[in-house]
């Protein structure tokens, strides 16, 4: 795969999605979806290691250089399914595989469960299902979501005097990052302002969803994927989201189409020391070998 990506934009339904395209245009089509408050640069280290693949890594709505949803819209995770299908149509892909990290892994799973006839394989990094909610929590959750959307909608993006300052802030966020990894996300995820730099992401991404899936609904998506015989490879970071491997094991044992490998590294291991090992495991799988 070539080491330098090609910058592209994809237009559909009056939306503009920015993306980076790696590799062979005649290779196996793979769409890469990043995590929450990241952007497509999170695949810059992994992408060159995946040969024989036409890899398109997109900035999801509200992230990086892509469009922001209108003021009356939300960033509920299942709404990303529509954008994933829109992107695939803009690329002319009838069938494709998905490479997802964290929130992008959940979006990949939801897309495959919703449109199993469109998805060949899932290669996921430290994410699979959203935290399930109990039905009785719905009223309180909706009230919280409406309040948070109003609050974050009025927030002015944080100002930084330099990219170095923004990089240090990103390094020390919810998940610790190396300086190199943080810099990649920051360079893609900021815009110049009169006083320096601000995040380009939509602050409303921080608002909770207006509705959350229950355990039964989550299972329905996984069962749809299993019934369609879509193979899944899932990397779990040993130093990623606290307690995630332990919480996932009982669920994963019920779905033999999901193969799991635990690897050393933090939540963004595909951007750091885990990239080579992930590529060795995902590359042949995505190529259908």
Q: Any idea which residues carry the catalytic annotation?
A: 102
Give the number of other CB atoms < 10 A from CB of residue 211: 14
Paired with 96 in beta bridges are 119
Q: Token pair of 242, please?
A: 């606290």
246 in Cβ contact with 82 (< 8 Å): no
Alpha-carbon gap, residue 177 to 160, rounded angstroms = 18
Alpha-carbon gap, residue 131 to 188, rounded angstroms = 28
DSSP 87-127: HHHHHT-SSEEEEEETHHHHHHHHHHHH-TTTEEEEEEES-
Alpha-carbon gap, residue 248 to 251, rounded angstroms = 5
Residue 288 phi, psi (nearest 5): 75, 25
User: What beta strand segments (E) does 90-231 contain?
Assistant: 96-101, 119-125, 159-160, 190-193, 196-199
């Amino acid at each position: 795969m070539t080491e330098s990506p090609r910058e592209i934009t994809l237009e559909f339904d009056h939306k503009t999605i920015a993306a980076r395209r790696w590799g062979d245009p005649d290779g196996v089509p793979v769409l890469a979806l990043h995590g929450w408050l990241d952007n497509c640069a999170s695949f810059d280290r992994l992408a060159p290691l995946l040969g024989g693949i036409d890899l398109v890594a997109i900035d999801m709505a509200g992230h990086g250089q892509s469009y922001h949803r209108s003021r009356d819209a939300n960033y509920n995770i299942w709404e990303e399914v529509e954008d994933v299908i829109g992107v695939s149509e803009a690329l002319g892909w009838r069938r494709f595989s998905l490479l997802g990290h964290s929130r992008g892994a959940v979006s990949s799973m939801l897309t495959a469960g919703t449109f199993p006839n469109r998805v060949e394989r899932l290669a996921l990094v430290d994410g699979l299902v959203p935290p399930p909610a109990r039905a009785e929590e719905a009223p309180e959750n909706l009230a919280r979501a409406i309040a948070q959307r109003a609050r974050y909608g009025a927030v002015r993006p944080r100002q930084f005097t330099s990219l170095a300052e923004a990089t240090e802030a990103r390094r020390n966020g919810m998940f610790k990052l190396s300086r190199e990894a943080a810099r990649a996300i920051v360079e893609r995820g900021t815009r110049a302002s009169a006083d320096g730099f601000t995040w380009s992401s939509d602050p409303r991404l921080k608002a909770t969803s207006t509705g959350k899936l229950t355990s039964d609904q989550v299972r329905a998506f996984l069962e749809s994927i299993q019934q369609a015989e879509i193979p899944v490879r899932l990397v779990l970071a040993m130093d990623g989201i606290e307690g995630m491997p332990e919480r996932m094991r009982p669920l994963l044992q019920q779905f033999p189409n999901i193969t799991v490998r635990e690897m050393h590294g933090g939540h963004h291991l595909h951007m750091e020391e885990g990239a080579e090992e992930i590529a060795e495991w995902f590359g042949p799988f995505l190529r259908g070998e």
